[in-house]
Amino acid sequence: MEGAMEDHGERRNMVGNDIESMMEGRGNEMDGDYYYASMVSDTEKGIRQPLLLRKRTMNTTSQIAVVGANACPIESLDYEIVENDLIKEDWRSMKKVQIFQYVFLKWTLALLIGLATGTVGFFNNLAVENIAGFKFVLTNNLMLEHRYLLAFVAFASCNLVLAAAAAALCAYGAPAAAGSGIPEVKAYLNGIDAHSILAPSTLFVKIFGSILGVSAGFVVGKEGPMVHTGACIANLLGQGGSRKYHLTCRWLRYFKSDRDRRDLITCGAAAGVAGAFRAPVGGVLFALEEAASWWRSALLWRTFFTTAVVAVVLRGFIGYCRTGKCGLFGKGGLIMFDVSSGVTTYNSADLVAVIVLGVIGGVFGSLYNFFVDKILRTYSIVNEKGAPFKILLAVTISLLTSCCSYGIPWFGTCTPCPSNIQEQCPAIGQSGNYKNFQCPPGHYNDLASLFLNTNENAIRNLFSSGTNNEFYISTLFIFFASVYCLGLITYGIAIPSGLFIPVILAGASYGRIVGTLLGSFTDLNAGLFAVLGAASFLGGTMRMTVSLCVILLELTNNLLMLPLVMLVLLISKTVADCFNKGVYDQIVKLKGLPYLEAHAEPYMRHMVAGDVVSGPLITFSGVEKVGNIIHALKMTGHNGFPVVDEPPFTYAPELVGLVLRSHLLVLLKGKKFTKEREPTRLSEVLQRFGAFDFAKAGSGKGMKLEDLDILEEEMELYVDLHPIANKSPYTVVETMSLAKAAVLFRELGLRHLLVVPKTPGRHPIVGILTRHDFMAEHVLGLFPHLMPHKKA
């Protein structure tokens, strides 16, 4: 395909070792282990291009990538075990004590991930509660002195400074830290190695940017960013040490592989959910249902251990704070809404109401996802102009949010405090159901109880049981409309921002509206309807079922609600699926990340693997000339090269295996060359190299071609590739259906899938399938007649 961009460096269809002739046949084709956004051809006008298709030069793959960062090449991860001679020899020489060290270290790292994520989760909540508490205390004190204008100036100024600081951290420090982070973690666990999404700088900005953003009063949550934070912590601990800073040892070498890091990052994502919601079982199910693309029973057990550690850490810190030594932490921060005191008996009429809530959640959720897509595309026009514009956009949204939070409660009416409540009315401090605002003693302002409050406390007020008449219907309508709109326009600015809290707030609002309207016809109180409304909106937006169900049950501490929550989630997801995809799936697609779905597209069933492999294909001989390897590495960005033995080494051309670019660089740097073209004994190679020498580098850069110092006379020497070639790469016959190959590729977590001929007597390899070959843009670019047509 003229001008096509070759993905992941691994697709070459011209067999042979003549590099010069290969390069002459390249035409305008650009290659490399990259997923370039510009690969969509002019014939693909029916495909909606992601924002990354705009002409940019670097992609931070963060939420800011959607709203204006430049794009960089995106590579695949090497989840496959490379079974070469060196690795096999290392396995044979491994003793029982080394196996014990490996298993022990895995569990130790899982423990450390749980401890670190739980500590960070508590620190986030402690900081937010104290910073926001100080802001509200200052505002309330000024209002008690009837200095209302000054109170607004102080309130808006605090929010403005916090918002500008959070945006500046993201814009200048780590753009990959902006947004939720869940789409990036999903992409990584799918096999996409996007730039800096799990870097230490991203972790730092994610933690402190989330604290500043939530404290600034934005309608965002810290729960989504906690998933990204847990994944970053796991990635940092799983680096296997650092050769650069000499922080490595024999034990840590076991984790110099993407495969083991994937397991740890899955544990980190689950720990993030457990740290955000105090829902350890929900965290495990979230990792299984939403985050991970690959799962096994041993990983389930280790993930459960990690989330249990998080729960214990949080419980210990909360017990300590109950002594009053945590400042303004009070009740809150770690959202735990205990509605177990509510009666959960229900009849057939209640089931009808729950079904209606599910339909409403599905409609509102799909509409929410539609607007998120539109708004992110709009923000990209502003944010791609540079960091100052990102900060300006965040400051503008902050001012608007401050005006709503402080101004709307003035339209509320002062209501006398109920006489039959145990809670103090009006509330004293930054938390409580009954906010005084400007009302006289003994009265409260229900609008202020929702608007002039932290997001967690507002949810707690909506979920509270025994308060059926606390909020007017008009108040709930105003709050729902405001939160729905503010949540939409806030997501996508340059701050760490989660979607869980805005969605829960909006869903709880319309859920309580339904509960208030049906108060005389139902046995369920308004607080339980708020929980069901939140569940319906979460299901309609995020399209998760099992994990959300368990998270909500762990949040509300009421197992009796299980049938109702299950019903409302199933209905809302079913309704919303009729319109569009889940919000995280939309964002992954919006960023142009080459995400492999669990199922193949229907048109792939009518194609075979040989239809999509494209040239040129570069192969090496088992004993190859150094100059040929250097030239191929210079002229291409390919990361996988088939190794083929030909006569006189074999009777007929024979596929030896696959060799990786990173392994070739290590081999060339060792300069184990020979003057004659003959294989090298394994014992001689083992004297110079070990399996650890070929381990993949961590977040730091690995070896590059520029690091090699090959002399001119060495270019004519030979090097044996047999010891480092993967002798058992996954292969498929060229006549296998593309749909079947796509499922195999994803389920095994592959980076390269070799295509071999069906009939004997031909060259032993036809081509290589990579992630790009299964993307709709590539397939439909080759065969535009297969493009599905939109209905009139």
Statement: residue 27 has pLDDT above 50: no
Give the mean model confidence (pLDDT) for residues 615-639: 89
**Quick check: 215 and 132 in contact, CB under 8 A?**
yes
Give which of 321, 60, 8 is closest to 196, Cα–Cα.
Answer: 60
Q: In which residue are the tokens 């076991």 written?
A: 254
End-to-end CA distance of the chain: 31
Higher pLDDT, 750 or 67: 750
- CA–chain centroid gap for 598, Å, is 16
Mean pLDDT of the residues in the chain: 83
| Confidence at residue 280, expressed as pLDDT on a 0 to 100 scale | 93
- For the record, the structure tokens of 433 come out as 């159901």
Give which of 199, 202, 221 is closest to 210, Cα–Cα.
Answer: 221
Give the mean model confidence (pLDDT) for residues 406-414: 88
How many angstroms separate the Cα of 524 from the Cα of each of 372, 520, 555?
33, 10, 18
How many angstroms separate the Cα of 622 from the Cα of each of 644, 649, 726, 762?
6, 9, 12, 18
Give which of 19, 124, 5 is closest to 73, Cα–Cα.
Answer: 5
Other CB atoms within 10 Å distance of the CB of residue 251: 15
The region that residue 656 occupies, defined by phi over 0 for left and psi between -120 and 50 for alpha, beta otherwise, is alpha
Q: Where are the alpha helices (DSSP H) in 287-422?
A: 297-321, 348-383, 387-407
Count how many residues are written for the chain: 792
DSSP bridge partners of 498: 221
Higher pLDDT, 194 or 783: 783
Distance CA 516, CA 529 (A): 9
**Quick check: 729 and 752 in contact, CB under 8 A?**
yes
Phi, psi of 507 (to 5 degrees): -65, -40
Residues 667, 673, 674, 677: what is their CA dihedral angle, to the nearest 10 degrees? 40
| Confidence at residue 264, expressed as pLDDT on a 0 to 100 scale | 93
Each residue of 731-743: pLDDT tens digit? 999 999 999 999 9
Statement: residue 70 has pLDDT above 60: no
Give the mean model confidence (pLDDT) for residues 101-125: 92
How many angstroms separate the Cα of 194 from the Cα of each of 35, 62, 197, 260, 726?
10, 9, 6, 18, 25
DSSP string, 141-167: HHHHTT-HHHHHHHHHHHHHHHHHHHH
Distance CA 782, CA 10 (A): 18
Statement: residue 792 has pLDDT above 50: no
* β-pair type (654-660, 640-645): antiparallel
Each residue of 294-334: pLDDT tens digit? 898 889 999 999 999 999 999 888 888 877 777 776 555 55
| Confidence at residue 650, expressed as pLDDT on a 0 to 100 scale | 82
DSSP bridge partners of 717: none
| Confidence at residue 338, expressed as pLDDT on a 0 to 100 scale | 56
**Quick check: 645 and 621 in contact, CB under 8 A?**
yes
Long-range contacts of 640-646 (CB under 8 A, 24+ apart): 640/8, 640/9, 640/10, 640/751, 640/752, 640/768, 642/617, 642/754, 642/765, 642/768, 643/619, 643/721, 643/722, 643/725, 644/15, 644/619, 644/620, 644/763, 644/764, 644/765, 645/621, 646/621
pTM of the model: 0.87
Statement: residue 37 has pLDDT above 50: no
* β-pair type (731-733, 753-756): parallel
Q: Domains of the chain by range and CATH?
A: 96-322 (1.10.3080.10), 348-413+454-591 (1.10.3080.10), 624-639+657-726 (no CATH)
Distance CA 383, CA 402 (A): 22
Q: Using pLDDT thresholds of 50, 70 and 90, give the confidence band for residue 26.
A: very low
Statement: residue 15 has pLDDT above 50: no
Other CB atoms within 10 Å distance of the CB of residue 31: 23
How is residue 62 annotated by DSSP?
A: S
Statement: residue 56 has pLDDT above 60: no
The residue type found at 659 is V
Statement: residue 158 has pLDDT above 60: yes
Q: Using pLDDT thresholds of 50, 70 and 90, give the confidence band for residue 658.
A: very high
Statement: residue 32 has pLDDT above 50: no
DSSP string, 444-480: EEHHHHHHSS-HHHHHHHHH-SS-TTSS-HHHHHHHH
**Quick check: 203 and 231 in contact, CB under 8 A?**
no
99-125 in b/e form (b: 16+ CB < 10 A) is eebeeebbeebbebbbbbbbbbbbebb
Q: Using pLDDT thresholds of 50, 70 and 90, give the confidence band for residue 241.
A: low
Give which of 522, 428, 412 is closest to 470, Cα–Cα.
Answer: 412
Give which of 334, 295, 240, 273 is closest to 695, Cα–Cα.
Answer: 240
HEC readout, 496-537: ECECHHHHHHHHHHHHHHHHHHCCCCCCCCHHHHHHHHHHHH
Q: Using pLDDT thresholds of 50, 70 and 90, give the confidence band for residue 254.
A: low
How is residue 676 annotated by DSSP?
A: S
Statement: residue 122 has pLDDT above 60: yes
Higher pLDDT, 335 or 498: 498
Each residue of 222-235: pLDDT tens digit? 888 999 999 999 98
Of the ranges 647-651, 767-771, 775-779, which one carries the lowest mean pLDDT score?
A: 647-651
How is residue 493 annotated by DSSP?
A: S
